[in-house]
């Protein structure tokens, strides 16, 4: 664990800002599960509970003009990047006020203003797209980095290999960031992924810089990512990061997650990144109970406002159905 003295560049406001973001993600996810139960959110809902330190630790090291690409478990990254909780919640509810006017849904969040290049729901596909964004950066001679999130399940896909090799051979400015939560959908990665316990070493095959980090420690994630960003920005080529973490809920809300051993769940509950960071802030004498109470109350209020915004927002108009398939022409087959 780092000490306060190890992060002299972070003010109390910065640190409490991290706490607030993690707390916001957690409460946002709790609310989205509630809204799912009430039927206001449909389809798949993959919550981020337990992995908040990754999005908050990593994304806060980026510049505004850097790029983020991620998978379908994307609410946490979107909120950490600064997307409004209202427009994300409205998107989950399929409302016209959502970030993609309700066309994308929970798994496909996008924000062009924030260079949030999308949540991708076909496991592994986004790694190839991230390599292409990095290629554009290199082509233009710019110095942005591309941060691409995916899960341990995605490592098994062929697209992982294709993207890793391309990024390495062309020295592209992309950071492949694996949220290693030990499971794909329901199968343990111990059963499916030969390198599950030393996953970062897979990057050795690509001659790529590789790192493993405690994904439940927001400051460790941040510290590592700052160093990696600097290297990648300086033209040293791609990097592979594996953050060890755990999802505290099932794969999606439909999953009771009863295939997981109790002692494993208990261990990881004890590693919950939010209490851990709260304890650290307390022990280091940075924040008091009053500070936390104030933040928690403001988070609760924000989440309530987001839910109310989503619920009270209008549905898209039926006429919107055919909008936006193509840039310059209407789509084919519109009934007349």
Partner 1 sequence: MSVITYREAVSSVLREALDEDERVFLMGEDIGPYGGAFAVTQGFTEKYGKKRIKDSPLAESVIVGAGVGAAMAGLRPVVELMTINFSLLAMDQIVNHAAKIRYMSGGQFSIPLIIRTVTGAGASVGATHSQSFEGMYASIPGLTVVTPATPSDVIGLFRSCRELNDPVLFVEHILLYGTRGEAPSVGDYRVPIGKADVRRSGKDITLCGYSRMANVAEQAAGILAQEGIEADVIDLRTLRPLDSETLVNSVKKTHRALMVEETTRIGGFAGELVSQIQEDAFDYLDAPVARVAGAEVPMPYSYPLEMAAIPSVDAVAAAARKLVNGS
Ligand X SMILES: Cc1ncc(C[n+]2csc(CCOP(=O)(O)OP(=O)(O)O)c2C)c(N)n1
Size of the site for ligand X (CB under 6 A): 15
Give 27 or 152: the residue with its C-beta nearer to Mg ion.
152
Backbone phi, psi, residue 279, to 5°: -60, -40
User: Among residues 119, 151, 273, 310, which is the contact residue for Mg ion, using CB under 5 A?
Assistant: 151
Give 187 or 297: the residue with its C-beta nearer to ligand X.
187
Q: Which of residues 210-249 bind Mg ion (CB under 5 A)?
A: none
Do residues 47 and 32 touch, judged by C-beta distance below 8 A? yes
| DSSP output for 14-39 | HHHHHHHHHHHHHHHHHHHHHHHHTT
| Contact letters for ligand X, residues 135-174 (x by CB under 6 A) | ---------------xxxxx--------------------
Cα–Cα dist 265/111, whole Å: 34
Cα–Cα dist 104/128, whole Å: 20
Backbone phi, psi, residue 179, to 5°: -85, 95
Three-class SS state of 309: helix
Do residues 95 and 60 touch, judged by C-beta distance below 8 A? no
Buried b (16+ CB within 10 A) or exposed e, 270-289: ebbbbebbbebbeeeebbee
Q: Is 125 in the site for partner 1 (CB under 8 A)?
A: yes
Q: How many CA atoms within 13 Å lie on the side-chain side of 327?
A: 0
Q: Which of residues 246-265 bind ligand X (CB under 6 A)?
A: 251
Going by the DSSP 8-state scheme, the letter that residue 242 receives in this structure is: E
Q: How far is the CB of 28 from ligand X (least distance, A)?
A: 17
Cα–Cα dist 78/109, whole Å: 7
Residue 269 contacts which entry, Mg ion, partner 1, ligand X, none (Cβ below 5-8 A, type-dependent): none
Q: How far is the CB of 153 from Mg ion (least distance, A)?
A: 5
Residue 30 contacts which entry, Mg ion, partner 1, ligand X, none (Cβ below 5-8 A, type-dependent): none
| Contact letters for ligand X, residues 222-251 (x by CB under 6 A) | -----------------------------x
| Segment lying near partner 1 (by CB under 8 A), choices 45-53, 106-114, 249-257, 273-281 | 106-114
Size (the chain), residues: 336
Q: Is 206 in the site for partner 1 (CB under 8 A)?
A: no
Residue nearest to Mg ion (CB): 151
Q: Is 111 in the site for partner 1 (CB under 8 A)?
A: yes
Backbone phi, psi, residue 242, to 5°: -115, 120
Residue 67 contacts which entry, Mg ion, ligand X, partner 1, none (Cβ below 5-8 A, type-dependent): partner 1
Going by the DSSP 8-state scheme, the letter that residue 327 receives in this structure is: S
| Contact letters for ligand X, residues 173-212 (x by CB under 6 A) | ------x-x-xxx---------------------------
Three-class SS state of 233: helix
Please state, in angstroms and as integers, the Cα–Cα distance from residue 50 to each residue in 18, 104, 106, 195, 207, following that order. 15, 24, 18, 23, 31
Contact residues: ligand X, CB under 6 A:
73, 121-123, 150-154, 179, 181, 183-185, 251
Contact residues: partner 1, CB under 8 A:
67, 69, 98-104, 108, 110-112, 117-118, 120, 122, 125, 127-137, 139-140, 158-159, 161-163, 165-166, 169-170, 323-329, 331-333
Contact residues: Mg ion, CB under 5 A:
151-153, 181, 183
């Amino acid at each position: 664990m780092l000490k306060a003295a190890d992060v002299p560049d972070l003010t109390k406001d910065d640190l409490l800002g991290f706490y607030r973001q993690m707390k916001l993600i957690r409460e946002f996810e709790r609310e989205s599960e509630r809204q799912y139960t009430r039927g206001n959110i449909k389809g798949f809902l993959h919550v981020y509970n337990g992995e908040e330190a990754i999005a908050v630790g990593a994304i806060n090291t980026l510049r505004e003009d850097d790029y983020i690409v991620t998978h379908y478990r994307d609410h946490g990254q979107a909120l950490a990047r600064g997307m409004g909780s209202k427009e994300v919640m409205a998107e989950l509810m399929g409302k016209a006020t959502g970030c993609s006017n309700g066309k994308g849904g929970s798994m496909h969040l996008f924000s062009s203003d924030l260079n949030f290049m999308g949540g991708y729901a076909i496991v592994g596909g986004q790694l190839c797209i991230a390599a292409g964004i990095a290629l554009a950066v290199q082509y233009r001679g710019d110095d942005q980095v591309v941060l691409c999130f995916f899960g341990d399940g995605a490592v098994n896909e062929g697209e992982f290999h294709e993207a890793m090799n391309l990024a390495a051979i062309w020295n592209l400015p992309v950071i492949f960031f694996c949220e290693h939560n030990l499971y794909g959908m329901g199968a343990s990665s111990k059963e499916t992924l030969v390198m599950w316990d030393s996953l970062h070493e897979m990057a050795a095959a690509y001659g790529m810089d590789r790192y493993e980090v405690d994904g439940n420690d927001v400051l460790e994630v941040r510290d590592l990512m700052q160093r990696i960003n600097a290297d990648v920005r300086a033209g040293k080529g791609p990097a592979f990061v594996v953050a060890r973490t755990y999802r505290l809920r099932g794969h999606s809300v439909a999953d009771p997650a009863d295939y997981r051993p109790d002692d494993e769940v208990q261990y990881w509950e004890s590693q919950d990144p939010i209490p851990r960071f709260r304890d650290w802030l307390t022990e280091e004498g940075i924040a008091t109970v009053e500070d936390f109470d104030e933040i928690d109350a403001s988070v609760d209020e924000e989440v309530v406002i987001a839910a109310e915004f989503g619920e009270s927002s209008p549905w898209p108009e039926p006429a919107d159905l055919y909008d936006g398939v193509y840039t310059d022409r209407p789509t084919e087959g519109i009934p007349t």
